Chain A
Amino acid sequence: MKKLTEIKGIKKFVALLLTFVIVQLLLSFNILNDYIMATIATICINIILAVSLNLITGFTGQFSLGHAGFMSIGAYTCAIIIMRYPSLPGFIIGLFLGAILAALLGFVVGLPTLRLRGDYLAIATLGLAEIIRIIFLNLEITNGAAGLFIEVQYTNWLWLFIFTAGTVILITNFINSSHGRACISIREDEIAAEAMGINTTKYKVVAFVFGAFCAGIAGALYSSYFYYIKPDLFGFLKSIDILVIVVLGGLGSISGSILAAFVLAVISSLLQSFPEVRMVIYSVLLIVIMLFRPQGIMGSKELSLSMFNKLGSIGSIFGRRNGGGR
């Protein structure tokens, strides 16, 4: 049993390392152009955002529409610090400071608002994100509506990879610990959870703060990759975008969120060549997916190696049939 988990762990590690090395090689031989790299960055940032929102909404069952607000705090904090101290340590400090500030705000706001349930919480978090946006719009240090221009790009594939993999691994571990199960029990039945000794307020706040922290990291990565940030980038629509990824991937499925972030980015970049109908096709695709899989791509299940084995065996049946036909 122990050996099995060890082998699994090694397999995962090798898979991660391979992903990193392959993309890095493709980049260093200039096979991937800037446009593809930007898509990869978007995917990584969206994965961090979606997985962390999934922790709040999919696992803990707290409907939040304020994720873009936490993201913007990370983005602005990191941008401001990089502009003062344009160096790698500046970037790292800015990134973590942004994440910590987002987490702090999550704590201060979460404590009173997480008493609200369902749609009421959604409205409250929506209001929070709007307040943050308006504040950034009016502050001098954030340069108001014109936004900030960051001259140096520190976010590269290495940092994107480290923080994306880190976020996913930490959140997955958390979900598979006793504390994570406490969060899930709140989603399942809050009254029963409380009666079984779970401090529901504590775990709602924990999920909210952890999610906000990760959103802050995503924001920081964004600002130092795409050079330019303005308050409008982190409005209501951005929160909805993240929610769409989570719902499409499946509430309560980490691998679903990753898959959906990937699929949506690919779809939207493939549609770049049809600018007139791009958003229409995108929306129709969303509607179709939701009609045929209302529980999301993965439901609440996780992608696993055994699943691939199953798919493989189905495939081999088809293969044999084809061979017999000939």
Chain B
Amino acid sequence: MSILAVNKLTKSFGGLTAVSNVSMELNHGELVGLIGPNGAGKTTVFNMLTGIYVPSSGDITLSLRGKNIRLNGKKPNKICKEGVARTFQNIRLFKDLTVLDNVRISMHKNIRYGLLHGMFHSKLHSVEEKKLLDKSVELLSILKLDHKKDELAKNLPYGEQRHLEIVRALATEPSLLLLDEPAAGMNPAETAKLTEIIGWIRKNFDLTILLIEHDMSVVMRICERIYVLDYGIVIAEGSPDEIKANERVIKAYLGEDMRNA
């Protein structure tokens, strides 16, 4: 069952076409990789999927709970409300806020009290805030960040900042999770652990995941299908083994020595 259908998506900046006629399809519960050399347009695709860029042409359709929702042209916060969450390649945490606040802000869209309740700290406010706190701590404990909830996000070690980005995305209660290079800058041990975590959250949160990654060990191990992007065009699609064997991919991206890998 398809959850996300991308049809002939194109984005041009002035004369430069960053992404051209990209079509993709994600099925419910799948873990799909999106790879390609630097500047291939992967993050641009993500930015269009999450509403940060408006596509020049093409369609993005999200199918959830039997409804088809056209995402292009919607604002990022609306898209988030529909159930699409993301992390950022260059970490974009709320650096000067605590770990707990980072997560609580992501849960704001489901808050059930109005502005006046907030100003007068009504009964409803304290009840809801208590729920919010419990839920945040529970989410943080999944990635073992709960004992650091009162630390400022900027003071976390790099690896934990990446983890916090994932928790923050999960806090928006997504159906589709977009991970933009979650393993960037991590050492092999951290990467292995992250790979495990991604598999675990997919199962336990019933997620569909689209993953951009440079680290081939991650992509080849956990992705069920892979799309390869080069110069804004999808040049190949298939299982990791098919991608490894694809001549065009090898030429464009993986390099000659991957044949022996």
Contacts and interface: CB of A to CB of B under 8 A. Distances in A.
B119 A195 contact: no
B161 interface: no
Chain A interface helix/strand/loop/mixed: helix
Nearest to A188: B94
Nearest to A174: B119
Given A177-B125, A189-B92, A196 B168 contact: yes
- Highest count of chain A CB atoms <10 Å: which of B75, B85, B108: B108
A185 B105 CA distance: 7
A178 B129 CA distance: 8
Contacts of B107: 178
A178 B94 contact: no
Contact of B105 (A173, A181, A191): A181
B44 interface: no
Given A178-B132, A181-B104, A188-B94, A197 B81 contact: yes
Nearest to B111: A178
Given A177-B125, A178-B132, A197 B106 contact: yes
A77 to B, nearest CB: 23
Contacts of A182: 105, 108
A199 interface: yes
A110 interface: no
A1 to B, nearest CB: 10
B101 interface: yes
A198 B109 contact: yes
Nearest to B76: A194
B1 interface: no
Nearest to A203: B108
Interface string B118-141: 111100010011001000000000
A195 B51 CA distance: 8
Contacts of B171: 196
A206 B97 contact: no
A192 interface: yes
Interface residues of A, number: 26
Contacts of B189: none
B120 A170 contact: yes
- Highest count of chain B CB atoms <10 Å: which of A174, A195, A200: A195
Nearest to B174: A197
A191 B88 CA distance: 10
Nearest to A182: B108
Contacts of B75: 194
B243 to A, nearest CB: 29
Interface string B195-230: 000000000000000000000000000000000000
B177 to A, nearest CB: 12
Closest 8 CB pairs of A and B: A177-B118, A197-B80, A197-B109, A188-B94, A194-B76, A192-B92, A196-B106, A178-B111
Nearest to B91: A192
Given A177-B119, A179-B115, A189-B94, A200 B77 contact: yes
B10 interface: no
Q: How large is the interface on B (under 10, 10 to 19, 20 to 34, 35 or more residues)?
A: 35 or more
A173 B118 contact: yes
A180 B80 CA distance: 20
Nearest to B84: A195
A192 B171 CA distance: 13
A184 interface: yes
Interface string A273-295: 00000000000000000000000
Nearest to A195: B76
Contacts of B77: 194-200
Interface in A255-313: 300
A318 to B, nearest CB: 30
Contacts of A174: 115, 118-119
24 contacts: A177-B129, A178-B107, A178-B111, A178-B132, A179-B111, A179-B118, A181-B97, A181-B104, A184-B97, A188-B94, A191-B92, A192-B94, A193-B94, A194-B51, A194-B75, A194-B77, A195-B88, A196-B80, A196-B105, A196-B171, A198-B77, A198-B109, A200-B77, A300-B96
Contacts of A184: 94, 97, 101, 105
- Highest count of chain A CB atoms <10 Å: which of B50, B92, B117: B92
A197 B172 contact: yes
A110 to B, nearest CB: 15
A79 to B, nearest CB: 28
Given A185-B105, A192-B88, A197-B81, A180 B118 contact: yes
Given A178-B111, A196-B77, 19 more contacts: A173-B119, A173-B121, A176-B121, A177-B119, A177-B125, A179-B111, A179-B118, A184-B97, A188-B97, A192-B94, A193-B94, A195-B50, A195-B76, A195-B85, A196-B85, A196-B109, A196-B172, A198-B108, A198-B109
